Structure 1
């Protein structure tokens, strides 16, 4: 293999900030990324994930802190001096250049001899499985093929770091799944170090070695997919990890490792994720998968069903309580809209967090 990515030990963000006038888009972001890691930056729109990536790439200057590649500070360098590979959301291919020319463009700009460009482009074409497409223009390719060209162009320059900014967001669901697997395969085959921006928790969970959850320009939690999925540290992280049901109540008991909330008169027991005192406001967070239709009893809420959608192997329903709390649940059987039912969750599947305002730190 002639493509050999530049090696290093770590990329380090040291209290990086980025301001747009009075807006603090990033606030003291510190993060260490080890060689060959696949890191996903995850969060809602406006959380700072793309700003972080653009600061690393050099497309935006930092207004505080520093970015290091091992012992070399890189935030003072121009983008082309950093030598990182970048894959954009909209592919950013040259429409008048064919696949081969697009992939080899960066090498040509660096003055690499033609024979070496041809050799590296051929290898990149094989890596992204585009042999036979090299003479086509971007407009003659599918979205997935265009994204493969963009990936090949980013890796053919042998960058120390590959940066991807929501590269699958313009693809349909089937292509997204296919390209997700391809991106991880290419990362593994190259021994690459990748930073990947996404707002899709499924993408982050399936691709990343570690996930960085951001909100309002602040890192909320860093951990493996398993850690973030099973042990989110804050309510907003839980929300992004699929805990769509957030039930506000008040702490009425603290029994061993369980917290009991009063939610519209119902007693909901769960596992405490933050320090809570009796009488304080708190949220019970529950995944739709963990709400079951059942009989009245402990950890149960009475609801009226609003909608029911067939999703193949299961149904997904929405419902509301008498007090106006909205819930999402799953069921193996259809429930008629308007029906009054009870939804129950096992207490070990309920996470209890401090009030959302208190939970921000």
Structure 2
């Protein structure tokens, strides 16, 4: 049975599990993916995102649950019978084959007629913008070009689903930005469904229609980039979406979801993600962009945090530094002017941009 030519509306993971001995890498995750969606599986190393991708690809057997395309169960099929395109982190190109031969390998294995194979290979090479490189070997190409060959090889078979496992992690920062744009362009042009594994929140935010955040083999939250960026449901999700600063304190006021915490000698306000009560221990999370230095004559007010500059560096548009407080909190902040390490500063937190979670 070959799924590559089958139309579908939905791919479903139903209570999908995978164990390695006593370790549960996936703990019964369920997810529905619509045709044409770009889904990013996001999370730290060991969260289960690559395991989930390899189970979908058929490279790993499941130990519980099932994978379905519409009503057809596919986790019982061999990888080659699923008809999916796969792009690996290390490119996995054949070093002795030219670009054209690498791209056409999957079609050759499928017995595609030579004339059709030639036209499809040329179309795939054109789509990834590698015209003029067809007769080169992988060793003669840059990392970005090799990744384009790997993408062309995955899409030339016209798969219903393209699976990408951290495909940009081996590229430098400039190439990663360029290839991000290329991957989204190719996805839009193909109209295929894409599942993309990454640990980089910027990649997920820029590429995905929906982001699936995993931790310890479980799905923590699913939503659009805007939903996860602005409204993370859990502290660990917030941390992964850029809320690097964490301040522990006690709730001293609450009204309609707006809470104020007593944090050391400061009273800091934010929005509670779940109901909190006065006296409850909580954690305020805020992005570095929303922590700024404030005027020296305001340093005695309770709405500011007194701290000592530890490090500071110039980032072009502004300065980014770290500062420590007397009660052992460390904050990353932005500043319009330089500050000497060891100097005292007052930091202001935008209450509209701060989130509060149960401790």
Residues 205-244 of structure 1: pairs in structure 2 closer than 5 A: 205-244=205-244
**3-state SS of 1:270 partner:** strand
Aligned counterparts of 1:81 and 1:36: Cα–Cα separation in 2: 21
Aligned counterparts of 2:252 and 2:302: Cα–Cα separation in 1: 15
Confirm or deny: 8 A CA contact 2:265 2:302 kept in the other structure: no
Residues 13-162 of structure 1: pairs in structure 2 closer than 5 A: 13-162=13-162
2:335 is equivalent to residue 331 of structure 1: yes
Q: 1:215 to 1:173 in 2, by over 3 A?
A: same
**3-state SS of 2:102 partner:** helix
**3-state SS of 1:312 partner:** coil
Residues 334-349 of structure 1: pairs in structure 2 closer than 5 A: 334-349=338-353
Aligned counterparts of 1:63 and 1:252: Cα–Cα separation in 2: 48
Aligned counterparts of 1:125 and 1:345: Cα–Cα separation in 2: 50
Match of 1:321 in 2: 325
Confirm or deny: 8 A CA contact 2:270 2:355 kept in the other structure: yes
Aligned counterparts of 1:207 and 1:159: Cα–Cα separation in 2: 19
Structure 2, unaligned runs of 5 or more: none
Work out the number of aligned pairs and report it: 352
Match of 1:354 in 2: 358
| CA drift at 1:279 | 2.0
2:284 is equivalent to residue 280 of structure 1: no
Residues 165-184 of structure 1: pairs in structure 2 closer than 5 A: 165-184=165-184
Report which stretch shifted further, 246-255 or 150-159: 246-255
Confirm or deny: 8 A CA contact 2:265 2:305 kept in the other structure: no
Report which stretch shifted further, 249-258 or 213-222: 249-258
Match of 2:261 in 1: 261
Aligned counterparts of 1:169 and 1:319: Cα–Cα separation in 2: 30
| CA drift at 1:158 | 1.0
Structure 1, unaligned runs of 5 or more: 356-361
Taking only aligned residues, the RMSD between alpha carbons, in angstroms, comes to 1.1
2:200 is equivalent to residue 196 of structure 1: no
**3-state SS of 1:309 partner:** strand
| CA drift at 1:299 | 3.0
Partner of residue 302 from structure 1, selected from 266, 290, 306: 306
**3-state SS of 2:316 partner:** coil
Aligned counterparts of 1:204 and 1:313: Cα–Cα separation in 2: 24
Confirm or deny: 8 A CA contact 1:91 1:167 kept in the other structure: yes
Aligned counterparts of 2:179 and 2:208: Cα–Cα separation in 1: 14
Aligned counterparts of 1:328 and 1:293: Cα–Cα separation in 2: 11
Aligned counterparts of 2:167 and 2:123: Cα–Cα separation in 1: 22
Report which stretch shifted further, 291-300 or 40-49: 291-300
Q: 1:6 to 1:156 in 2, by over 3 A?
A: farther
